[in-house]
Amino acid sequence: MKTKLVLTVLLAVAMACAMTACRGNQSLEGQAKDARIKAEIKSKLASQVSASTLTSVEVNVTNGIVVLAGPVHSVSESTQVESVARSVPGVKDVKVALQVLAPETIITPEARKGTQS
């Protein structure tokens, strides 16, 4: 009987933790502000970058600090994503962990002939 009570309490604590995203150092109001910041960044990016970039760039916000991660197509696109994030009210800082993809190389039959001896 005692183990059943302990399991019930543990389950309740786990559910409460999951519902609050385990951010013990942040109030519900802070979490709501971070969610608004993230939504606004994603919304602005939707009108300024390609769809593939929008879906591959991860935006995380904690206490107003934005972390951008994922692949982008160019340095200018990385700069643009960072600029959009910095323009949103409530953003305190932006940490950039974006990776610039290598440009696609297309090898045509003519180019192959030039490399063969």
CA distance linking residue 71 with residue 101, whole number of Å: 6
For residue 20, being part of any structural domain is answered with: no
Q: Which domain holds residue 92?
A: 26-104
For residue 74, being part of any structural domain is answered with: yes
For residue 109, being part of any structural domain is answered with: no
Q: What is the mean pLDDT of residues 26-33?
A: 91
Q: What is the mean pLDDT of residues 94-100?
A: 95
For residue 112, being part of any structural domain is answered with: no
Q: Please give the model's pTM, rounded to 2 decimal places.
A: 0.67
pLDDT, tens digit, 9 for 90 and up, residues 40-84:
999 999 998 888 888 999 999 999 999 999 999 899 999 999 999
Domain count across the chain: 1
